[in-house]
Structure 1
Amino acid sequence: MLFFVNIKIFAQQISADSLRLDIERSLNYLVEKQCTQTIEGKQYAGEWEAFMQMKGFFFLLGSKNKYRDSNCFTMAGIHNILAEMYLADTSKKEILPMLQKVYPEILTYATPTPIGNQFNFWKNLPPIRDLRWGKEPNPVPLGRRPTNFAMDERFINNAANVANDADDTALGNLAIWYHQKIFGKNDSIKPIKYSIFDQYLDKDRQNRHWYNYLFHGFKKSGAYMTWLAQESTFENWRFHKNVAHNLVFFLPFSICYPHPYVPYIPWGTNDVDVVVNANILTYLTKNGSLAKSKGSDAAHKLIEKHTKRGHWSMMGIYYPNRYHFHFAVSRAVAAGDKALLTTAQLLVKHLSETQNPDGSYDSWKRVNKRDILQSTTYAVLSMLYLKESGVEVPQTLIDKSVFFLQNQKKIEKSQVFWKGGVFFSGGTVVRNILYFTSDAYTTALVAMTFQKYLNVR
């Protein structure tokens, strides 16, 4: 009885006016924190601060430290959150200048192709050192890399020159879709077609990523792979062959070795990430091409299998926060992907079972001290997306989490913000060591949470 009384008190304490004020002040924060000056190779006009954070020492990457970083994932992510907020409430005119400022910056991560733009996580920049023994090419090619992260060795500089990926391509093209929906179509820029994702499916391969082998178990899934490039192949793949190459990753004959000026797939092997698959499904659903894609059915089955198995902390290769999976899948459901409705019921069950008494959620203890704020934000947004989609979600769960989030804000004059948690990582061996965080990204997520809560409660 006391439990239900406490729940009622939570709901009563959440004032609609206070939430509206927090949304307004969080947008003020994002306006003020949007970068206005480009310092080439350091920061770029239109972006918001994001950081690469080393939790501790790791070979070739250095010791515990924090570096500002410019990357597509953060900028497209914030753009898409703000665009979704504006489309839900077109009176929020202060959002429009922010979208216009960041949109050209997002396009700098694009690689034009005949069927549209692929996107990369990092910018194409001049190398910060020589990348091979002997004479360098003239002119020296550009390469993908972080802007400020300290990289001394040739190996890690070459490894940072990653190939274009399906995740950023989905997010970047979703930004194009949103931008054209708000500001009108541009005939010279068209969202990419579904076929690019279908060129890289987890089938008919002679390789397999060791993380998928050890932790995911579902081979030849047919789902979307992460990297939009040709992986290394074996004549007859066996796990021990892959292990042998991983053990000698620093030698040029290993498939894991990054060569100078060649776009690199980490470990030389493509991978299958369920969060990446959910992000692709969201984009394809939004642009109306989901049914045409050959990989969509397999992606649905893979996501459902992972949900039923419930190894939440190991779900995403690049997403260590266990509730990022729920967030990504629920976004696809809210976009209109009806094939995930069975999975949605399983997510609600898990969210109901794992909420803490104060309304918070927490991730694995190795993830940013359980990453409570970020976990709670993802969890409650998942519930709100699902409720928008017609899925039954207990209102008491949502009330408690919103109350918790509102009490975690930081106040600066006419602005409020929330401290950034882990929204991305370096993946695999540095999955719980190299984090990406951004106060702006987390603040945008919480602002959208409050807006959705006011619309559905």
Structure 2
Amino acid sequence: MRAIYILLLVSLAGTYCFAGPQYRTQISSALRFIEHYQTTGEEGYDPGQWVARVTSYLPSNVGVGKFNHPYEEPTAFVAASVANVLAEIYFLAPEYQSIPPMIERTVAGFSNYYWDQLFNFYPPTTYRGVKVRQPRYMYLAPRFKGFANIPPDADTTSISYSTLQYLHKIHQGQHSYQPLPDSVMEAFSSARDLNRKPHIYNAGQGQKNTGAFLTWLWDDMDPKMPRNLFARPNNGTRVPFNRNDVDCVVNANVLKMLTLAKRTDGPGYKAACNHLNRMAIKKDFFYCGMYYPSRYVLPYTMAEIIHQGGSCLEPSRDNLIAFLLKKQKRNGGWKNKYMSRPDRIQSTAWALSALAQLGDPENPRHREAIRDGADFLSGMSTRDSHGFVYWPGEVYFAATFVARYPVVWRSSAYTTAVAAKALLLAERF
């Protein structure tokens, strides 16, 4: 009788506590990897950042980096992206007490990226005596330097403010902090896809006057903005290619920030939700993200918004689940389109995390898919020279719509964080 009872317990454990201890060991080691490689402010990095590398696959004589040479290019955008995933892990498993100090260090390194109360992707420098924004290390020929003197953008601003929101939540309001300044809300409200000529890439997709949020928090019709594509940086700040654009993943990141801040009644929120719901019906997950050459980052971000209480995206739940189940491979993993690199680790980490947040633990099809995905992702991990578990960084985002394939950023810290989160979410299946 006792033997039967033990067998019953083992069976139940296999059904409801799938591989928890096995994956917890990997998750703990992965968090130590991320903590170990977080910077403390040494030369070339701001405090609380992680290594991020941008690689150009254009011929070297074009002047946008050297061909296939990874340049370390730390940014607040990547640091905030990593910190946000860490915060989401912490809210799922508060026993990981190393996470709050990591987020605090990231926020301490934000100062170089502020543009008043908005955020810029690049840190400031000077060019011919004029303050501009530029990459720190990536080589740009003089004719291309002006492309990088960009204004604050909705993506960096929303992701960075989400980090601030998460830190405020961790400290349970103990620190004085204005969750979302009115000036930030005004900037987002004024940069919307309304009554304007669409960007050529958006026009090709039929995305016109969507009411969704634009990428650049800047007036692209400002007469003072340089119109010559190759104007030098000191001629002024400019939107790349002179035209603002609509990116679905950028909109998802803005919606996530607004959901966290409980500022969902402002202009643009409902329109952005409707736009993403339309894209989910069309299953336009690959081309809709101009700066994100993956078909899985949008479902991943939408799933997190739904998890955070963003009910306006709830109509997309079934469409997202159906898409993720259909695209899963027999080996349990997912892969991106070959034209933008399969990136099986990053694709699986995003897709598995999304499916685990959207799926039903009582649904056998969902359980099987998530267990297979977790097994595949677990098996793709490796160890560094210190013995820490990590997942090598694969493509996270790209430079512009014309460089979705040739100019891309990778971060092992980010990929490892998303993989750890996915395995943690898979535990309930």
Q: How far off its partner does 1:122 sit?
A: 1.3
SS in structure 1 at match of 2:339: coil
**Corresponding position: 1:267 with 2:241:** yes
Q: Could you say if the C-alpha distance between residues 202 and 374 of structure 1 is closer, same or farther in structure 2, counting changes exceeding 3 Å?
A: same
What corresponds to 1:181 in structure 2? 169
Amino acid across the alignment from 2:423? F
Work out the CA distance in 2 between the residues paired with 1:272 and 1:73. Answer: 18
Amino acid across the alignment from 1:118? L
Work out the CA distance in 2 between the residues paired with 1:99 and 1:188. Answer: 15
Work out the CA distance in 2 between the residues paired with 1:452 and 1:397. Answer: 13
What corresponds to 1:4 in structure 2? none
Aligned length: 409
What corresponds to 2:250 in structure 1? 276
Q: How far off its partner does 1:387 sit?
A: 3.4
Work out the CA distance in 2 between the residues paired with 1:317 and 1:390. Answer: 36
Find 2:274's aligned residue among 278, 301, 305. 301
After superposition, residues 58-457 of structure 1 pair within 5 angstroms as: 59-62=62-65, 63-112=67-116, 117-127=117-127, 136=128, 140-153=129-142, 155-183=143-171, 184-187=173-176, 190-193=179-182, 194-205=185-196, 207-214=197-204, 216-232=205-221, 254=227, 256-261=229-234, 262-290=236-264, 292-368=265-341, 370-387=342-359, 394-412=366-384, 413-454=386-427, 456-457=428-429
Amino acid across the alignment from 1:223? A
Work out the CA distance in 2 between the residues paired with 1:107 and 1:88. Answer: 29
Q: Deviations over 1:271-325 (max 9, x none)?
A: 00111111111111111111x2211121122112222222332120000011111
Q: Could you say if the C-alpha distance between residues 37 and 283 of structure 1 is closer, same or farther in structure 2, counting changes exceeding 3 Å?
A: closer
Amino acid across the alignment from 1:437? R
What corresponds to 1:43 in structure 2? 45
Q: Deviations over 1:26-50 (max 9, x none)?
A: 01111111113421xx223321100
Work out the CA distance in 2 between the residues paired with 1:316 and 1:172. Answer: 19
Q: Could you say if the C-alpha distance between residues 332 and 255 of structure 1 is closer, same or farther in structure 2, counting changes exceeding 3 Å?
A: farther
Question: Are the equivalent residues in 1 in contact too, given 2:63–2:139 (CA < 8 A)?
Answer: no
SS in structure 1 at match of 2:295: coil
Work out the CA distance in 2 between the residues paired with 1:392 and 1:336. Answer: 25
Work out the CA distance in 2 between the residues paired with 1:83 and 1:388. Answer: 23
Q: How far off its partner does 1:147 sit?
A: 1.3
Work out the CA distance in 1 between the residues paired with 2:50 and 2:209. Answer: 39
Amino acid across the alignment from 2:45? Q
Find 2:22's aligned residue among 18, 22, 27. 18
Q: How far off its partner does 1:218 sit?
A: 2.3
Q: Deviations over 1:408-435 (max 9, x none)?
A: 0112344100011111101211111101
Q: How far off its partner does 1:150 sit?
A: 0.9
Q: How far off its partner does 1:90 sit?
A: 2.1
Work out the CA distance in 2 between the residues paired with 1:57 and 1:327. Answer: 33
Structure 2 stretches of 5 or more lacking a match?
A: 1-13
Q: Could you say if the C-alpha distance between residues 20 and 143 of structure 1 is closer, same or farther in structure 2, counting changes exceeding 3 Å?
A: same
RMSD between aligned residues: 2.6
SS in structure 2 at match of 1:312: coil
Q: Could you say if the C-alpha distance between residues 107 and 395 of structure 1 is closer, same or farther in structure 2, counting changes exceeding 3 Å?
A: farther
Question: Are the equivalent residues in 2 in contact too, given 1:46–1:105 (CA < 8 A)?
Answer: yes
Question: Are the equivalent residues in 2 in contact too, given 1:345–1:391 (CA < 8 A)?
Answer: no
Question: Are the equivalent residues in 1 in contact too, given 2:168–2:177 (CA < 8 A)?
Answer: no
SS in structure 2 at match of 1:202: coil
Question: Are the equivalent residues in 2 in contact too, given 1:174–1:283 (CA < 8 A)?
Answer: yes
**Corresponding position: 1:33 with 2:22:** no
Amino acid across the alignment from 1:230? D
Q: How far off its partner does 1:75 sit?
A: 0.4
Work out the CA distance in 1 between the residues paired with 2:190 and 2:362. Answer: 34
Q: Deviations over 1:375-430 (max 9, x none)?
A: 11110111122238999971111111111000001123441000111111012111
Question: Are the equivalent residues in 1 in contact too, given 2:349–2:422 (CA < 8 A)?
Answer: yes
Work out the CA distance in 1 between the residues paired with 2:371 and 2:206. Answer: 37
Structure 1 stretches of 5 or more lacking a match?
A: 1-9, 128-135, 235-251
Question: Are the equivalent residues in 2 in contact too, given 1:50–1:70 (CA < 8 A)?
Answer: yes
Percent identical? 25
Q: Could you say if the C-alpha distance between residues 32 and 392 of structure 1 is closer, same or farther in structure 2, counting changes exceeding 3 Å?
A: same
Q: Could you say if the C-alpha distance between residues 56 and 182 of structure 1 is closer, same or farther in structure 2, counting changes exceeding 3 Å?
A: same
Q: How far off its partner does 1:51 sit?
A: 0.4
Q: How far off its partner does 1:160 sit?
A: 0.5
Q: How far off its partner does 1:186 sit?
A: 4.1
Question: Are the equivalent residues in 1 in contact too, given 2:119–2:156 (CA < 8 A)?
Answer: yes
Question: Are the equivalent residues in 1 in contact too, given 2:361–2:367 (CA < 8 A)?
Answer: no
Amino acid across the alignment from 1:169? T
Question: Are the equivalent residues in 2 in contact too, given 1:166–1:280 (CA < 8 A)?
Answer: yes
Work out the CA distance in 2 between the residues paired with 1:411 and 1:100. Answer: 26
Work out the CA distance in 2 between the residues paired with 1:190 and 1:124. Answer: 25
Q: Could you say if the C-alpha distance between residues 102 and 53 of structure 1 is closer, same or farther in structure 2, counting changes exceeding 3 Å?
A: same
Amino acid across the alignment from 1:96? P
Q: Is 118-127 or 396-405 further displaced after alignment?
A: 118-127
